[in-house]
Amino acid sequence: MDLAMCSFNEIREPMKWDSLTQLKLAHTCLDRINTIVEGCPVLEVLELSECWGFKTLNFENHKMLNLFVLDGVWPKKEEQFDSITILVPSVQFLVIRGNLDLRYVVLKNISGCLDANIDFYWTRGDHGEILQNGGFSALNLQQFLNSLKHVPSLTFGTWFIETISKKPYVGFELKECTNLMLRAPVNDRYQRGMLHIIESCYILETVIIRAVRTYPFCKLCTKCIHDIRKSTNETSPSSSRIQGSFGFKILEFYNDEKAAKRHIGDEAATSYNNVGGLPVFIEFLIKNSRNLQKVVLV
């Protein structure tokens, strides 16, 4: 069921939507969101788009499987500089995407999450000031990413990757991530963040990079990688990142400008630096992947 620009202000008791499995709410004040969901005992999918009026999504006693928080979400119109807290231990697929007019997002309990798609930025600082080019303090960024450390499949998009690229190294660990998708152009605007994410995944098996828009490849990529290595070693001297090698087995790179599709094994990967037009960043990942078995280029 899709509802937009509705008023739930008079709701005092749970709804009686006993058979509803999917609910999409848009452009709506949701200060009664917990009461609404309480009346949907078999609800599996909840999507919130450009809504306001809530500070907490607390569905700890619910069996919700899919949660989408999209675009322009804020707690209250008169309190736009706050945060939201998400407690949905049953959720298996979580999507947070868009420009959120918040100070931060807290993932307090998403213990059942198996797949998360993250591509958002918040625009407010700790004192409500507008932050140019997206928000995030280093501490908030670290706490948010560490809340995803148990999730086996992760997707990060351009906004979130760019935010990580702009920050000094913070010590987050995505310990259980085995499948990682990065949706961003391979250039100096995003590659620092992409490398930070990859190096924080300790048991990674598959990396998929989708160059979602056409940008010139970074010609200073080697210098960027050197700078990342230097800052990482200085801030985390005991980290496995110093070893300079990755453990993933499969690397897939999808570039809109590439018409050909090639499949190569680990033997060919060592000489792949001779392929014309391959971004330096992708070369770097191939050359430094100790367990690489398969590369897909599109």
Boundary of a domain, candidates 106, 125, 154: 106
Is residue 230 in a domain? yes
Do 143 and 91 reside in the same domain of the chain? no
Reading the block at residue 35, the tokens are 């009461």
297, part of any domain = yes
How do residues 185-223 score in pLDDT, each as one tens digit?
A: 888 788 888 998 998 998 999 999 988 654 444 443 455
Residues 20 and 86 in one domain: yes
- 225 closest CA partner among 233, 213, 237: 233
**Is 121 a member of any domain?**
no
- 166 and 232 fall within a common domain: yes
Close Cβ partners of 257 (under 8 Å, ≥ 6 residues apart): 211, 214
> Residue 93: which residues within 8 A CB-CB, separation 6 or more?
65, 66, 67, 113, 114, 115, 116, 117
Could you tell me if 56 and 83 are in contact, meaning their C-beta atoms sit under 8 angstroms apart? no
Does 129 fall in a domain? no
Determine, yes or no, domain membership for 118: no
Provide the pLDDT for residue 262. Answer: 40
Number of domains in the chain: 2
Q: Please check whether residues 177 and 224 belong to one and the same domain.
A: yes
* Domain assignment present for 116: no
CB 33 within 8 A of CB 6: no
102 plus 159 within the same structural domain:
no
The range of the structural domain enclosing residue 39 comes to: 1-106
What are the C-alpha distances in Å from 61 to residues 43, 88, 281?
12, 8, 45
- Point out the residues of the chain with pLDDT beneath 50: 126-130, 133-134, 214-221, 231-243, 257-276
pLDDT at 73: 65
296 part of a folded domain: yes
Determine the Cα–Cα distance for residues 102 and 123; give it in Å rounded to an integer.
6
pLDDT digits (tens, 9 = 90+) for 27-58: 887 777 888 888 888 889 999 888 877 888 88
Same domain, 280 and 153: yes
Q: Are residues 149 and 239 in the same domain?
A: yes
